[in-house]
Each structure stands twice: as structure tokens, then as C-alpha cells.
């Protein structure tokens, strides 16, 4: 790394630390002056490195603090103001995107949410699909129903959870049918996906959408995807976004590998990841073999 890049990296890290510890988000001009960069360059370089603007980073850190306080049992009003939000309305403006529910419901472990789910056997193990009234909230793989139901209960401990049989919930059936088609375990055409109801930041959505453009049978490294998104040093941020994906197979984070081509980890098990990629490559290669 040359001296100029090292100086820029150090300035960006100072800017990040200032934003992280500031009670109020500093203006871009103030932040630029503090780290001796121009405002325009700082905005562009900060987004390239961290995936978000300084203002967005500050807001995300405030929400992280808010969520931690709520999980610890703090009253909603106290948690809102302790996290640096001057108005509760500012929290509720973003709560659906960042929590998937109101702060009060999040504090109560999903209290008030009505979740319906079903499970089915797949070539990769047992699959659980869950939905709220707004869309699909969880798609996960495991060894058996008990493991999957415990995982769902841990994620939404106070939500109302109801198991339904296949054929009784259109959205659940649509997700299962789509996965069956994509895994080659059904000849039926893949139906359209239902709406998605998963709490995420704008950056996470951006990464997940990019993952869906990786062709079946192909992989990309964290660094490759980061560069495609204009974040040449954002491999770690890409990895964090993949790690927060709760929609197995629907958002294909299994197609992301390490820089050396090794598989790395996967929330639902590295052996399943290996099996899934092998299945995709076989499906992708079969028409070419027939054509030859």
C-alpha cells in the first residue's frame, strides 16, 4: 500500500470513529475538516469503504444501540432517547426497514406478530418457510423440524407462531415450489416470489439484490462482488451482509466464496453449501453436455 492510500485509509478510519462516537451526526463539512479531506471526496471514499454515507453510518449505529437497549429490557422511550434520537417519530419512520416491526414489538421479541410456517423435506435437509401478514420472513435449512422450530422461536420468541399444512398457505407453497424447481427436485415451472418481510438496511438489500444476479452454477468472491458494487475495500461489509441473510436459497449467498476460491462458511452449514453448489453446477452443465 502506498503512502497516499495509507493516509486516506487512516483519515477514513478517523472519520468512522468520530461518527460512531458522536451523539449527533456531524455535518459532512465538519467531518471533512476534522480529517483533512474535501467533503465530496470524503463522502465518496467513505461510501466505497463502508458501504454507506457517514450520515447513514451514524443512523445505523444509533439503531444498533437502540436495539441493544431494547433487548436488555429498557423502556422504549428511554431507549429511544438514550440512543440519541431526539424524537420517537424519527425511530418509527425507519422501524419497518430496520426492525421489521415497531420498536415496542421488537423489545417484546416480536409480540403482536402473527407468523405462519411449514416445513418440508428437501435434498439439502429439512426446510422451514415462515410468513407474516406482509410477506416471507424466514427461509431456513436444518436437520429436523425440532431444530428449525427452535430457531424460529429464538428469532421471534413472543410472536404468535402457527404451523400450517401444505396447501393451506399460498405464500408458503409458492416459496417451496420455487425452491423445488430451482433444486431440480420438481419439473414444474418456478412461480413468482411472494413479498419479502425481512428487516434490513439499505446496504444489505443492495448486496442481496446483487447476489440474485449471480448465475446458477457460478460463484463470486466477497472482493469481486464488492468491486462490482463500487466498494473495492468493502469485502468485509459484503460478508456481514451475507451473514445477515435469513432467506436461504431465495437470496443465494451460498454463491459467495473466499478470495482463494475456498467455500468459507454458510449459516446453514458448509457441507450443504458444497452440496448445493455441486447440484447447481450439474444442472447448469447438463444442457451443454447434451448439446455436445
**3-class DSSP assignment, residue 163:** strand
Degrees (nearest 5) of the Cα angle 63, 97, 256? 95
Q: Are 145 and 119 in contact (CB under 8 A)?
A: yes
**Residue of 66, 211, 253, 256 marked catalytic:** 253
Cell of 235: 469485502
**3-class DSSP assignment, residue 34:** helix
Catalytic (active site) residue 242: no
| Four-point Cα dihedral 47, 52, 54, 58, nearest 10 | -160
- Please list the helix, strand and coil fractions of the chain in percent, rounded to the nearest 5, in that order: 55, 10, 35
Q: Which of 29, 32, 38 is nearest to 14 (CA)?
A: 32
Q: Which of 289, 286, 287, 280 is nearest to 217 (CA)?
A: 280
Cell of 140: 431456513
Helix (H) or strand (E) holding 94: helix 88-98
Backbone angles phi, psi at 138, to 5 degrees: -160, 135
**3-class DSSP assignment, residue 47:** helix
| Four-point Cα dihedral 221, 227, 228, 234, nearest 10 | 80
Q: Are 41 and 35 in contact (CB under 8 A)?
A: no
User: Which amino acids are annotated catalytic?
Assistant: 253
Amino acid at each position: 500500500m502506498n503512502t497516499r492510500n495509507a493516509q486516506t485509509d487512516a483519515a477514513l478510519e478517523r472519520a468512522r470513529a468520530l461518527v460512531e462516537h458522536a451523539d449527533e451526526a456531524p455535518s459532512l463539512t465538519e467531518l471533512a475538516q476534522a480529517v483533512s479531506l474535501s467533503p465530496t471526496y470524503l463522502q465518496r471514499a467513505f461510501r466505497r469503504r463502508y458501504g454507506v454515507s457517514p450520515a447513514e453510518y451514524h443512523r445505523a449505529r444509533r439503531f444498533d444501540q437502540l436495539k441493544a437497549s431494547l433487548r436488555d429490557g429498557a423502556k422504549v422511550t428511554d431507549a429511544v432517547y438514550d440512543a440519541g434520537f431526539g424524537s420517537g417519530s424519527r425511530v418509527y419512520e425507519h422501524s419497518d426497514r430496520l426492525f421489521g416491526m415497531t420498536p415496542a414489538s421488537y423489545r417484546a421479541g416480536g409480540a403482536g406478530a402473527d407468523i405462519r410456517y411449514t416445513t418440508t423435506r428437501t435434498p439439502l435437509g429439512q426446510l422451514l418457510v415462515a410468513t407474516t401478514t406482509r410477506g416471507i420472513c424466514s427461509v431456513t435449512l436444518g436437520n429436523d423440524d425440532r431444530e428449525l422450530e427452535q430457531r424460529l422461536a429464538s428469532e421471534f420468541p413472543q410472536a404468535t407462531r402457527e404451523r400450517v399444512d401444505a396447501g393451506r398457505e399460498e405464500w408458503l407453497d409458492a416459496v417451496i415450489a420455487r425452491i423445488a424447481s430451482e433444486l431440480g427436485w420438481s419439473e414444474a415451472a418456478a412461480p413468482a416470489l411472494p413479498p419479502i418481510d425481512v428487516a434490513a438496511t439499505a446496504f444489505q438489500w443492495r448486496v442481496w439484490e446483487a447476489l440474485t444476479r449471480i448465475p446458477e452454477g457460478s460463484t463470486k468472491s466477497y472482493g469481486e462482488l464488492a468491486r462490482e458494487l463500487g466498494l473495492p475495500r468493502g469485502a468485509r461489509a459484503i460478508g456481514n451482509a451475507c451473514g445477515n441473510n435469513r432467506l436461504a436459497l431465495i437470496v443465494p449467498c451460498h454463491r459467495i466464496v473466499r478470495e482463494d476460491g475456498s467455500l468459507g462458511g454458510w449459516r446453514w452449514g458448509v457441507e450443504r453449501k458444497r452440496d448445493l453448489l455441486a447440484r447447481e453446477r450439474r444442472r447448469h452443465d447438463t444442457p451443454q453436455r447434451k448439446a455436445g
